[in-house]
Amino acid sequence: MHCSLLSLGCVFGFAPPVILNLTALRALKIAQRRLRPEVRSKLLGISSARTDATFVPQAWRFVFSDSTTNGHCRVVTVAARASSEHPDTVRAFSSIKSESGASLRAIPQNKLLFDSNRVLERVRGTSKLKGSQSAEYRLCWPPNGRETSWHLSFYDKAAQPMASFRMDANTGAIKLVEDNVNAD
């Protein structure tokens, strides 16, 4: 009888560890394992799936520049410890549909000093976000010259946008982008 440690562990009530708080930068390391070494450093953007009321994403989507593909991009989604690749098009990256992959710049990953959990912590420190039911995260380096920044948007029960915050990924400076929230 052949039995793996995983199945044996499940019989006795042990299971492989599950990452309960999958931050963006932890997920990035998982996503990069799926890529060729020359593509790993060419991160164009990060976005999360819409969260629940905890505001903690369960999945992340990464877009990397890859000139060997038709769309010049490689999209990798990471949920817990699983990851998958998607068609090589920016259209799959919902948060930046309006921007072309050619207009985006690769994000300098060594300057990402704030992970998604710290972004949420800092935003919560500035606003109570009454009535918020979900959140969506995005990290990009826009072509207009601004620094790499996190964009954290909050939504109400009807999935209508309530407020958006921008936080500089290097300094942690926070700015309310939309002033339509009950931010006490």
- Higher pLDDT among residues 105 and 11, named by residue: 105
Q: How far apart are CA 126 and CA 118, in angstroms?
A: 13
Flag whether 172 is in a domain: yes
Residue type at position 118: R
Closest alpha carbon to 19 in 112, 116, 86: 116
Flag whether 7 is in a domain: no
Q: Quick one: tokens of 30? A: 């998982």
When divided into structural domains, the chain yields a total of 1
Flag whether 183 is in a domain: no
- Higher pLDDT among residues 44 and 102, named by residue: 44
Q: How far apart are CA 63 and CA 23, in angstroms?
A: 16
Residue type at position 119: V
Q: Quick one: tokens of 5? A: 């440690």
Residue type at position 14: F
Q: How confident is the model at residue 11 (pLDDT cuts 50, 70, 90)?
A: very low
Decide if pLDDT at 158 tops 60.
yes
Q: Residue 178 has what pLDDT?
A: 58
pLDDT tens digits, residue range 15-71? Answer: 344 445 789 999 999 999 989 999 999 999 999 988 888 899 989 999 999 888 887
Flag whether 4 is in a domain: no
Domain span at 134:
18-176
* Report field, pTM of the whole predicted structure over 0.85: no
pLDDT tens digits, residue range 112-157? Answer: 889 999 999 999 888 888 889 999 999 988 777 678 999 999 999 9
Flag whether 181 is in a domain: no
